[in-house]
Structure 1
């Protein structure tokens, strides 16, 4: 079963062939239609029937409301009455000035989980090439959910072209992402003002990528790195925490690093810390066990996979001066 319900894209076909391909520089109205985002999130107060026969009296529950799609009337979630909705149109509209005058280009947009999660991804125009023609492009991801799983999040992301691996551009200072909880009103211009600080982060991120690509590592260093990244807190006994290492995952990423990974043989990645990091991102984005490719991508952008990639980045940065 696909989590992706509808999607539009330009350039290469993403996500195992799903989606409607668009020509470049289409207006947002075309994106809304082709990405399946031309509907609204409606809301209604929660009501219930008191009585076991189904013929009892109807009562309201004012602290909660139901969110549903305007087109199909399909329910999306039950949320607090204070919950602030972010509409599908707002996700696309966020990019209007960025694409019209800012040099950005929308690349994918769509609907996950029947409308419970919405996203759009745009190329920023920023790019870097490491030794051996290893190209990394900058993107801006905006996503929201109405099922309680995600604050509205604007996140700078990098994509390594050779393998389509994604990595959040987070430099430890928190400016790579802006999160707006649903108890607050989503103010697109305020978010973009905050992200204005982060656009300059690309140069710092590029310098760190270059440092990783120039740091040679031994087999022993590689194994120690993978074990640090893939060791989890498995709970605790009465006196101390218990950790466990995912040995099958360690074996998988060692194989990717050893030459099976896409781009593993490139000068930037072969026996380098950049290669270590990309072995983890390829594993998370394309190989990690999941119910489906879509569940894996959801986790890689927003969930446990994203957390694992951040850990891999932090550990990689310890390897460079």
Structure 2
């Protein structure tokens, strides 16, 4: 069962092989059309009927509103009347000046869960090769949901080309993301200012990646780190247990099963350990579908696991 409703992509085929392929450098309007983001979210007052068997008086409930699609009229969510909607088109419009004058290139955009969640991902043009062969590219992800499951979130992300692993790039103390809750108006210019679309974030990230590449780790340290990261809460809520299956899989990825694990940058290094976790989360972690796994890796529990792994490897090079 696919979460992806509609999607467009430029470049390599995405993780689930779906979507409309676009030639490079298409206009934002072409992206809206191909990604299925050329509709709007509309709203209506909540109404209910009092009486037996649905026959009776129609009443209104002004505290809430129903959000629905302009094209299919399908319902999306019931939200507070104070909920500020961000439209699918606004997510792509955010990138208009970035692609036209900023050197960014849109790579994927689309709609999840019948229209409740939508996103766009663009390459920033920043790139580094670690030890000459291990390329990591910079991206900017913008996503939102109209059902209350996600604030409008802008975050820098890196993609390790050899294995397509993703990792959020920390912005100072910001944990890698700018979040605009739906009780506030989404103002693209403010978000761009907060992101500080500059090279400094990327440069600091590159410096950390290079430090991880240069930091050797012994087998015991690898085991300890993976066991600290790959845990789950105990059923009684008193603590955490190691997820032994996840540990085994990630350890195997580190030991040579992972894509790029044999590269000089990763073999026996802290960078290699980090990538064993990101590859596990992005491609191996148990999920109902590839789409569910990808969504968790970007926004959910998977993203939290990767953040824990990043925090742990940062301690190694502190």
TM-score by length of 2: 0.98
Say if 2:166 is the partner of 1:131: no
Query: 1:69: how far off?
Result: 0.3
* 1:48-87 map, 5 Å: 48-87=48-87
Q: 1:42, 1:116 → 2: CA distance? A: 12
For residues 218 and 198 of structure 1, what CA distance do their matches in structure 2 show? 36
Equivalent residue for 2:306? 309
* Partner SS state of residue 107, structure 1: strand
* Corresponding residue for residue 26 of structure 1: 26
Aligned equivalents of 1:179, 1:292: Cα separation in 2:
26
After the TM superposition, which residues 78-227 of structure 1 pair with which residues of structure 2 at under 5 Å, given as runs?
Answer: 78-174=78-174, 176-196=176-196, 199-227=199-227
2:252 to 255, 269, 283: 255
Alignment partner, residue 43 of structure 2: 43
2:255 is the counterpart of 1:244: no
Residue 288 (1) aligns with residue 288 (2): no
- Going from structure 1 to structure 2, the CA distance change for 1:129 and 1:261 (only over 3 Å counts) comes to same
1:171 touches 1:205 (CA, 8 Å); kept in 2? no
- Would you identify which runs of 4 or more consecutive aligned residues in structure 1 move more than 2 Å? 231-237
| Distance (whole Å) between structure 2 residues aligned to residue 227 and residue 172 of structure 1 | 27
Secondary structure of the structure 1 residue equivalent to 2:316? coil
Task: Measure, in 2, the Cα distance between the counterparts of 1:83 and 1:299.
Answer: 24
CA contact (8 A) 1:216 1:271 kept: yes
| 1:120–1:197 Cα change, 3 Å | closer
- Give the Cα separation in 2 of the matches to 1:94 and 1:242: 42
Q: Is the 8 A contact 1:153 1:177 kept in 2?
A: yes
CA distance in 2, matches of 1:277, 1:161: 15
Contiguous gaps of at least 5 residues in structure 2: none
Q: Which residue of 1 aligns with 2:265?
A: 268
**1:233 corresponds to:** 233
Instruction: State the Cα distance separating 1:170 from its structure 2 match.
Output: 1.0
Q: CA deviation at 1:6?
A: 0.6
Q: Work out whether residues 10 and 21 of structure 1, in 8 Å CA contact, stay in contact via their aligned partners in 2.
A: yes
Deviation (angstroms), 1:56: 1.3
Partner of 2:8: 8
CA contact under 8 A between 2:16 and 2:291: conserved in structure 1? no
- Over 3 Å counting, the alpha-carbon distance change for 1:199 and 1:186 in structure 2 is farther
Partners of 1:146 and 1:138 in 2: how far apart?
27
| Alignment deviations for residues 33-61 of structure 1 (CA, whole Å, 9 cap, x no partner) | 00000100000000001123211111001
The answer as to 2:275 corresponding to 1:278 is: yes
Aligned mates of 1:165, 1:106 — CA distance in 2: 18
Aligned residues: 318
Provide the aligned C-alpha RMSD in A.
Answer: 1.2
Per-residue deviation, 1:235: 5.8
CA drift at 1:132: 4.3
Note the C-alpha offset of 1:200.
1.6
Distance 1:175 1:201 in 2: 12
Contact 1:132 1:266 in 2 (8 A): no
User: Conserved in 1, the CA contact under 8 Å of 2:171 and 2:177?
Assistant: no
